Every structure is written in C-alpha cells, then in structure tokens.
C-alpha cells in the first residue's frame, strides 16, 4: 500500500519541479507525485477544499515535499496549516529548499518539520536525494494510519 | 614707598576694571566713618582724627581692590584733614604730631589696600580656576555624550550593514543557485536521454554547460563560506588534526581522480593537537591540499605532504608540494580574496581559497604563511595554539570550579 501513496510536491520554480519529477521517474519511483505551485494551492490540497475537494482524486499525501520561498503563502505558513490540521498534522513534511540559512532551519523545526534538505545543484546529487527520500520516508518510515 | 606704589599699580593693572558697586561701597564707608567721627567729635575732640577712616579703607579695599582702597584713602585723608585735624578748615596739619598721624594713616591705608588687593586677587583667581574646572567638566560631559551618540549611531549603521550583508548572502545562496540547478540538471538530461541526437560536438557543449555550472556553484559556496567565516562566532576546542587531514586528503584525491589528475597526498601522522573549530580547520586543510594538488607541474603527478610540528605553545601545520611554486613578489598578496596568478584555463579556481585559509586561521587566533621558490614548489603553513592535554583540561576544570 505504501508504495502507491501520494507524494505532494509544493514547488513554485518550474525548473526545480521538472527536475525533481524527472528524478523520481529516473529512479523508478512509481508513487504518484502531485505538484502544486504556490502556498494557497498547498493549503487547499491539505484541507481538501477548492479544486482539491475530491479526496478520491486527491488523496491525503504520505509525504509532503515543501519549498520555503513560495508565492501567496510561504512554506512556513503552509507548514503551520498542516500542523494545525486535524487530519494532516502527523504527515511527514520534508523541507526541500535552496536556503541553508540557520534562521530558516530553526523556524522550520520550530514548526515541527520532519526534515530539512537543501536542493543540490548537481543532478546526480538530486537523484541520490530523491532515492534516499523514497527509501526512508515511503518504504521504511511508518506513519499514523487512518 | 615708590616701590610699594609701583607694586600696587602693577597689581591694580591686573585687577581689571573697577566696578561702580565697589566705588559706592568706598564712598559709603568713608561717609559712615565721617558721620561716626563727627558724632564722636565732642568726646574725642582733636584726638585720633583718622581712627575710623582706616576701617573705611579696609572695607573699600576688600570690596574693590587696591585702586578703590587708594581712592578711599585719599577721600578719607582730605575729609579728615579738613574736618578733624587742627587747624580745622585747612588741609595743612598744625603740628609735626598731626603730620606724623597723616603719614601713619597713609602708610597703614596703603598696606591695608595692598593686602586686601592681594587677598582679593587670590580669591578671584581661585574662583576663575573653579569656573574653569566646572567648564572643563561640562566640556568633558558634553564630549562624552557626543561620543556616546556617535557610537550608537555607528553601531546602528554597522547593524544595518550587517543585516544587509545577511540579506545579500541569503539572496546569493537562495536565488543565484536556482538557475544553476536548471542549467546543470537539464544539460545532464540532454546528455543522458538525448545524447544520440546531440552528436559528439553537441555532447561536448552540454558537458561544458555542466562544468560551468559546477564552477559557479563552487564560487557561490566559497563566497558564502568566506562571508560566514568573517561573521560567525568561533568556539575553539582541542582537536586532532590528523583525522581531519586524512579525510580531506581522501576527498581531494577523489576529486582529482574524477578530473583526470594524478594526486598523492601523504599525511605524516600524528599531527599534534591544536585549539580549533572543526569545520573551519577542515575548510583550511581542504583548501591548502586542493591548492597544493592543483598547482603541479604540467605532465607531472602532484605530490603533496602534510605534517605538523610543535613550536613551544603553538603548532604549525605544513602543506608542501613540488609544484610550480610562487615567485617572491607574489607571495605577499596570494592570501587576499580574488587574487589569482594564473588564467582559468591553466589552473581553474575562484581565487578565494587562500583567503578562506587566512581568515579562518585568524578567526581561530592563528597565523598563516608560505615559503616558496618559483619552479621548486611551495610550503604553506598555518600556526595555531597547541591543544590542551587531558591533564591540562582537568586542571583548568579544577580552576574553573574553584
């Protein structure tokens, strides 16, 4: 079951989103990855409102990859919504961002991020990162069941 | 007498302007003396015609100084001679006895005036000194306040500059890397998935995009390391550099192997322990080793050796290569940021590695240097405080707790 659970990718940069999706595909990870491009869309998805009202089509993700610098609503605001949401509060959230600023890292962990990763520049490093993410968070890690 | 007068005039000249109030006091004193003497005249008759006038001269001198004292003396003398010294109604004394009394009065008055004037001068001088001191103190307070304002202004400016710098390094780390990921990532996808249709020329170009992105990433990382080095707090502890040197050596050899270089790095264990911060020491050693491996002679493998020696309470870590070396005229400036002696094609690099070495060493209370001859190789060194032994640490703990 776990192998087929959805991964939610919150990423505004088209290039980064394409490269991450490519890395998932290249690594042979078959989980459906839904990508949203801004903070408001991420909140809609988590709360099952607006365009994401149908849970059959848009199931709650087993893993959320969250960029910090997002239009409309920042990644940290999205993270707060997730942690305040009755259903999604235990969902693993991995911050995947360009920023390696200590203040960002601290604020993310203050809001109970599960992990904080910095996007690598090299494509090979990105492949390794995606494979590790899948192996740990999707295959090994146990989440709170429904 | 003439000398006394001269002295008095001299004093008078330094006393400054005579004010109206002191002349009034002189006139009133003399008037009062005249009135009382006149009242007592039926009792005293011709005796002691000058007695009370001396008091008037004292009062006048004390208030107005020597000149007013002399004025009071002259008026008193005239008034007394005319009114109380026989023959009354004349300024000339009747007998030698009264002439003597006039002279005694004049001498006594002058002495009083002189004394009073001296006292007054001393008092004025003391007052002036006090006023000057008060003024000086006020000036010091004012300057202090000015300094404090200046300091707080400068501090605010520095803090603003610092936060601007932080915002800048945030932008550098966040925004400049984003396009690089696109360049690197898509060029690699082209190479991996579209290699056949690119042809050999196209593949080479795509590889150069990847290499250029890698160089730019290196530059951004070096810049961030350098700017962080200058700003972050540094906590020193006793470290064994041998393990750090070994792990850096492995990394540098691996990086060289991937770029078709032949590098051997010899780590002479053990390197004595030093007081350092592990991340910074790692950056310093990695930069020195990378540098030593990079500047090898063309066609020759890079031979690098790292070892340490204790020099009193300091430890010097040496990194030696048999490469192209550095001419003496260039040795002074190679530790500056962005100093490069060679073109990008011959020896690629950002020109910031040795600046990281120098700044890093300085942040840890250390020094750096180089010994080299062009064509013979180079020996770089960093010198840090020697690490504390377990015994020294225990002792300092005891001291800390005492």
Average pLDDT over residues B224-246: 84
Residue-wise pLDDT for B140-163, tens only, equals 999 999 999 999 999 999 888 877
pLDDT of residue B138 exceeding 90: yes
Closest CA to A75 of A18, A37, A125, A48: A37
Q: Do residues B368 and B335 lie in contact, with contact meaning Cβ atoms separated by under 8 Å? A: yes
Q: Is the CB of residue A102 less than 8 Å away from at least one CB of chain B?
A: no
Cβ distance of A126 and B185 shorter than 8 Å: yes
Residue-wise pLDDT for B56-92, tens only, equals 888 888 888 888 888 888 888 888 888 888 888 888 8
Q: Is the CB of residue A71 less than 8 Å away from at least one CB of chain B?
A: no
Q: Residue B259 — very low, low, confident or very high, per pLDDT cuts 50/70/90?
A: low
Q: Is the CB of residue A15 less than 8 Å away from at least one CB of chain B?
A: yes
- Measured in angstroms, the CA of A112 and the nearest CA of chain B are apart by 22
Cβ distance of A122 and B179 shorter than 8 Å: no
B174: which chain A residues are within 8 Å (Cβ-Cβ)?
Answer: 69, 97-99
Determine the pLDDT at residue A99.
Answer: 82
Q: Do residues B61 and B112 lie in contact, with contact meaning Cβ atoms separated by under 8 Å? A: yes
Determine the pLDDT at residue B400.
Answer: 46
Give B201-268 as a DSSP string: HHHHHHHHHHHHHHHHHHHHHHHHHHHHHHHS----EEE-HHHHHHHHHHHHHHHHHHTT--EEEEE-
Cβ distance of B214 and A119 shorter than 8 Å: no
For residue A124, is it within any domain? yes
Cβ distance of B185 and A119 shorter than 8 Å: no
- Count interface pairs A-B at CB distance under 8 A: 49
Cβ distance of B181 and A119 shorter than 8 Å: yes
For residue A133, is it within any domain? yes
Q: Residue B401 — very low, low, confident or very high, per pLDDT cuts 50/70/90?
A: very low
Give me the phi and psi of B157, to 5 degrees please: -60, -45
* Residue A133, domain extent: 2-140
pLDDT of residue B109 exceeding 50: yes
CA A7 vs. chain centroid, Å, equals 7
Determine the pLDDT at residue B323.
Answer: 82
Q: Is the CB of residue A126 less than 8 Å away from at least one CB of chain B?
A: yes
Per the prediction, chain A carries an average pLDDT of 89
Give me the phi and psi of B116, to 5 degrees please: -60, -40
Residue-wise pLDDT for B317-332, tens only, equals 999 888 888 877 777 7
CA angle (B305 as vertex; B304, B307 as ends), nearest 5: 155
For residue A86, is it within any domain? yes
Cβ distance of B178 and A100 shorter than 8 Å: no
Determine the pLDDT at residue A133.
Answer: 92
Determine the pLDDT at residue A144.
Answer: 80
Nearest to B184 among A99, A100, A121 (CB): A121
Average pLDDT over residues B203-222: 86
- Closest residue, chain B, to A22 (C-alpha): B189
Return the HEC string of chain A. Answer: CHHHCCEEEECCCHHHHHHHHHHHHHCCCCCCEEEECCHHHHHHHHHCCHHHCCCCCCCCCCEEEECCCCCCCCHHHHHHHHHHCCCCCCCCEEEEECCCCHHHHHHHHHCCCCEEEECCCCHHHHHHHHHHHHHHHHHHCCCCCC
Cβ distance of B178 and A98 shorter than 8 Å: yes
Task: Provide the CATH number for the domain around residue A46.
Answer: 3.40.50.2300
Average pLDDT over residues A30-53: 91
Q: Is the CB of residue A89 less than 8 Å away from at least one CB of chain B?
A: no
Per the prediction, chain B carries an average pLDDT of 82
Determine the pLDDT at residue A3.
Answer: 46
Average pLDDT over residues B180-198: 90
For residue A82, is it within any domain? yes
Nearest to B184 among A99, A101, A122 (CB): A122
Q: Is the CB of residue A16 less than 8 Å away from at least one CB of chain B?
A: yes
pLDDT of residue B398 exceeding 70: no
pLDDT of residue A2 exceeding 50: no
Q: Do residues B242 and B271 lie in contact, with contact meaning Cβ atoms separated by under 8 Å? A: yes
Share of residues in chain B with pLDDT > 90 (%): 20
Q: Residue B118 — very low, low, confident or very high, per pLDDT cuts 50/70/90?
A: confident
Cβ distance of A121 and B213 shorter than 8 Å: yes
Cβ distance of B170 and A99 shorter than 8 Å: yes
Helix axes B66-83, B51-64, angle to 10 degrees: 160
Distance CA A18, CA A59 (A): 22
For residue A146, is it within any domain? no
Return the HEC string of B27-39. Answer: HHHHHHHHHHHHH
* Weakest-pLDDT range from A36-45, A87-96, B40-49, B274-283: B40-49
* Weakest-pLDDT range from A44-48, A125-129, B47-51, B382-386: B47-51
* Weakest-pLDDT range from A118-132, B113-127, B131-145, B160-174: B160-174
Q: Residue A37 — very low, low, confident or very high, per pLDDT cuts 50/70/90?
A: very high
pLDDT of residue B222 exceeding 90: no
Cβ distance of B181 and A69 shorter than 8 Å: no
3-state secondary structure (DSSP) of residue B47: coil
Determine the pLDDT at residue B344.
Answer: 57
Q: Do residues B308 and B271 lie in contact, with contact meaning Cβ atoms separated by under 8 Å? A: yes
* Number of separate domains in chain A: 1
Average pLDDT over residues A60-65: 92
């Amino acid at each position: 079951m776990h192998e087929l659970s959805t991964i939610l990718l919150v990423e505004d940069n088209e290039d980064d989103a394409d490269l991450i999706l490519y890395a998932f595909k290249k690594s042979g990870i078959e989980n459906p990855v839904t990508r949203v491009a801004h903070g408001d869309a991420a909140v809609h998805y988590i709360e099952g409102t607006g365009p994401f009202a149908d849970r059959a089509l848009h199931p709650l993700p087993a893993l959320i990859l969250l960029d910090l610098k997002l239009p409309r609503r920042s990644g940290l605001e999205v993270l707060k919504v997730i942690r305040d949401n009755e259903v999604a509060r235990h969902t693993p959230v991995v911050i995947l961002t360009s920023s390696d600023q200590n203040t960002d890292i601290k604020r993310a962990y203050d809001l109970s991020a599960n992990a904080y990763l910095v996007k690598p520049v090299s494509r090979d490093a990105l492949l390794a990162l995606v494979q590790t993410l899948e192996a740990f968070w999707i295959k090994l890690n146990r989440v709170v069941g429904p | 007498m003439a000398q006394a007068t001269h002295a008095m005039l001299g004093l008078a000249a330094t006393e400054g302007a005579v004010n109206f109030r002191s002349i009034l006091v002189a006139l009133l004193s003399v008037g009062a003396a005249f009135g009382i003497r006149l009242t007592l005249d039926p009792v005293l008759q011709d005796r002691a015609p000058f007695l009370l006038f001396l008091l008037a001269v004292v009062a006048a001198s004390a208030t107005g100084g020597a000149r007013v004292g002399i004025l009071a003396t002259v008026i008193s003398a005239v008034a007394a001679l005319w009114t109380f010294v026989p023959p009354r109604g004349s300024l000339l004394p009747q007998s030698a006895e009264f002439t003597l009394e006039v002279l005694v009065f004049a001498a006594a008055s002058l002495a009083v005036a002189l004394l009073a004037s001296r006292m007054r001068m001393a008092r004025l001088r003391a007052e002036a000194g006090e006023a000057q001191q008060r003024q000086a103190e006020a000036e010091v307070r004012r300057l202090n306040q000015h300094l404090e304002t200046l300091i707080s202004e400068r501090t605010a400016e520095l803090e603003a500059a610092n936060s601007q710098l932080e915002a800048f390094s945030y932008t550098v780390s966040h925004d400049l890397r984003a396009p690089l990921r696109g360049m690197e990532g898509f060029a690699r996808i082209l190479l991996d998935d579209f290699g056949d249709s690119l042809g050999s020329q196209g593949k080479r170009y795509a590889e150069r995009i990847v290499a250029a992105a890698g160089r730019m990433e290196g530059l951004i990382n070096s810049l961030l390391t350098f700017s962080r080095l200058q700003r972050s707090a540094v906590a020193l502890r006793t470290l064994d550099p041998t393990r750090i040197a070994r792990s850096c050596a492995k990394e540098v050899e691996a990086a060289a192997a991937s770029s078709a270089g032949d590098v051997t790095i010899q780590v002479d264990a053990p390197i004595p322990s030093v007081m350092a911060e592990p991340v910074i020491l790692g950056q310093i050693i990695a930069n020195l080793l990378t540098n030593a491996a990079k500047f090898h002679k063309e066609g020759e493998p890079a031979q690098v050796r790292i070892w340490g020696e204790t020099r009193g309470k300091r430890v010097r870590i040496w990194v030696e290569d048999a490469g192209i070396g550095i001419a003496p005229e260039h040795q002074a400036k190679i530790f500056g940021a962005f100093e490069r002696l060679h073109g990008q094609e011959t020896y690629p690099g950002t020109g910031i590695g040795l600046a990281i070495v120098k700044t890093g060493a300085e942040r840890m209370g250390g020094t750096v240097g180089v010994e080299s001859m062009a064509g013979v190789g180079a020996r770089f060194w960093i010198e840090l405080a020697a690490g504390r032994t377990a015994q020294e640490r225990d002792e300092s703990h005891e001291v800390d707790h005492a």
